[in-house]
Amino acid sequence: MLNLASALIGILSLIIVIPATIPFLGWANWIALPILAVGIVLGQLSSSGRGGRNFCLVVGLIAVVRLSLGGGIL
């Protein structure tokens, strides 16, 4: 159950991260990162699988790379 919740949180964060790849919308990644952290914790607590956690980690990696390219703001 926690794995499913983690995957749903990852999908919600992905919906935020995709438009944040557009220039001048990089600030939205700062909103997605705390949500992703909750998804990663829930995925880690899950005993059934690790797919939700891994999905959140990939989305988080995309967000962090985008933030680093924009200097943390753009």
Task: Please report the pLDDT score of residue 45 as a whole number.
Answer: 92
Is pLDDT of 36 > 80? yes
Residue extents of the structural domains in the chain: 2-69
pLDDT above 70: percentage of residues in the chain: 99
Cα–Cα dist 13/33, whole Å: 8
Cα–Cα dist 72/51, whole Å: 28
Q: What does the pLDDT look like over 42-74, one tens digit per residue?
A: 999 988 888 999 999 999 999 999 999 888 776
Cα–Cα dist 46/15, whole Å: 23
Is 40 within 8 Å of 56 (Cβ atoms)? yes
| AA identity, residue 41 | V
Cα–Cα dist 29/35, whole Å: 10
Question: Considering only CA atoms, which of 56, 15, 65, 55 is closest in space to residue 36?
Answer: 56
